[in-house]
Amino acid sequence: MKKIVFFDVQDYEIEFLKSACREKFKFELVKEPLNDLSVLTEGRKDAEIISCFTTSRVTKTVLERFNNLKLIALRSVGFNHIDTDFCKSHGIYVENTPNYGNMTVAEFAIALLFDVTRKVTNSYNDLQKSVINPHKTIGVEIFGKTIGIVGLGAIGAEMARLANGVGMKILGFDIKEREDLKEKYNVQYTDFETLVKNSDFISLHSPLTKDNYHLFNKEIFDLMKPSAFIINTARGELIDTQALYNTLIDKKIAGAGLDVLESEETLTDPDYLVDIGRMTTQSLQKTVLNNRLLQLDNVIVTPHIAYDTHEAINRILNTTVENILAFDDGKIQNNVY
């Protein structure tokens, strides 16, 4: 009977995982993320399968402590938090849960776009303080405006559907052009710089790779319209946080809606509050910048919740268990490399 350790386990996942694994596997449910060696007790190091969410950081140092690891069953699409080079060289499969949140994340991106352009959260916060200032809440319409979608995979395609539905013009940038998106949603593919220069809104839906780290840096922000907004529900590392902050305070763009940040775990993981020594110099710098972003009136920041709906969670858990059962049956599916 194979042994599985689930990390990052939320209360709403417990009954599902217990029911799915009972009598099939020897398993343990751990609420803490797999960020360091402190959660790797002796009884967990011999697991053949582990499962985690994006709040875990499964580095080479962590992976080296496992004695018999064969599979990492991710409860996410993204896998940049896993050292896949180490896994590949040591025969460890890494399987993700694709397509669970296509509509969910796209809907949240549109919600962020409406929020930051119409100042919904800001006006609500002001009203709670009995402050009503119509001049402060002047927004902009999105109908007839141009949105640039960076990454037109499954989520980006849903974003194109929604944007087309509210009457936006769509520019798209991706390594592969999809004819169906051109026909259905009038997506006009273009090169990256043309998209940046001509978009009123830019929404990021690309996976993080070695090639697009800090895709949006000072030089790219300088190409954007002063009236433009940027929305990121993909990965925080696609944006150079320092460059974004400087761009915003210098009023070179109009605003940002961010569900993801660089070093976001230092804001959302309580362990960093009780053990500040875990932070590197770089993560401390990013944390200071992230806190400064939270103070800006033209920025909306949410704690990486674009995926978070009942429907998406059910799809994540079902696909995770399907991946594990298939692996136990000798089949590999949804491997990321």
Neighbours of 163 (CB within 10 A): 26
* Active-site option among 57, 81, 205, 304: 304
Nearest to 256 by CA among 288, 224, 287: 224
Is 235 labeled as catalytic in the residue annotation? yes
Is 107 labeled as catalytic in the residue annotation? no
Is 304 labeled as catalytic in the residue annotation? yes
Nearest to 50 by CA among 72, 25, 82, 27: 72
According to DSSP, the β-strands at 299-301 and 201-204 are: unpaired
* Active-site option among 158, 237, 262, 264: 264
How far apart (Å, rounded) are the C-alpha atoms in residues 169 and 152? 15
What is the enclosing helix (H) or strand (E) of 52? Answer: strand 49-52
* Active-site option among 235, 237, 262, 265: 235
How far apart (Å, rounded) are the C-alpha atoms in residues 2 and 5? 10
Residues with active-site annotation: 235, 264, 304
